[in-house]
Amino acid sequence: MYEEKYNRAGVFVVFIIFITLALLTGFIHPLITAFLIPIIIWSTLKFAKEEKARVLHHNMVVQTRIPQKAQLVTFVDGHSSLVSSMKHYVWCDNAFLFIFPGEYPKSYYKSDVSKMELVRVPLVDIEYYTIHGDFYTETTVSGGDSGGVSGTGAVVGSVLGSAMGGKTVGAAGAVIGSRKKINAVKSEMVLHDTRVTTLFYNDAGETRSLKFGYEDYDTFYRLLPDKSFETHVFRHMNGGAITKESH
């Protein structure tokens, strides 16, 4: 990820140098110059802000010492130190589940990056994880107007109108020219997918949750196979009771 950022930085610097030299040598027309200067200034400031955020995040990743075995998941909601809709590293040891942002916020503000922290969830406090949400399709139908003869066209009779170039062709032509255009019937299938992988854990006696992408369920199953909802239910069944947590 960082090699890609460095490559982008090199391309940007070369581009700025080229444009600057072209402006100074008069190679570009003065009007174009006046248009390009604000864009160059804006791009330079934006790039500088992004670079500061990138460096800060990179230093935080180094200090966190993320192991090679860490997996990437998409965080959705549930914690202020994590970034919604962005990739996060997850890994665990014998005592904790660790979560840390794998990217920096697209706002590029240093303050936003500084809010990111390593989240530690004690394994003993994790109750279970499961999939929540709905997955269904909805079909919408549009078009198919009647396309009948309009009342105005039948009365006018001799005037066909703009559809036939304004020529007089008689009553029959007026009827034909005034027909409404028939819209084709169109159907569109809309997919609704609100499924997420939700991890429930105990925090000082209160049940809290962290939400991740639906496809991340398999990642958590590899990391914490004994914390799946099925195992959670099975464990309570063997204990003589099933505890059904409120979702």
Residue 125 reports pLDDT greater than 90: yes
Is residue 168 classed as helix, strand or coil in its secondary structure?
A: strand
CA dist., res. 247 & res. 233, Å (int): 14
Residue 5 reports pLDDT greater than 80: no
pLDDT digits (tens, 9 = 90+) for 75-94: 999 998 898 889 999 999 98
* Percent residues over pLDDT 70 in the chain: 62
Is residue 112 classed as helix, strand or coil in its secondary structure?
A: helix
DSSP state of 65: T
Count CB neighbours of 229 within 10 A: 15
Residue 228: the pLDDT is 95
Structure tokens at 158: 């001799």
Q: What number is the average pLDDT over the span 181-210?
A: 90
Q: What number is the average pLDDT over the span 104-118?
A: 71
Residue 33: the pLDDT is 61
Residue 226: the pLDDT is 93
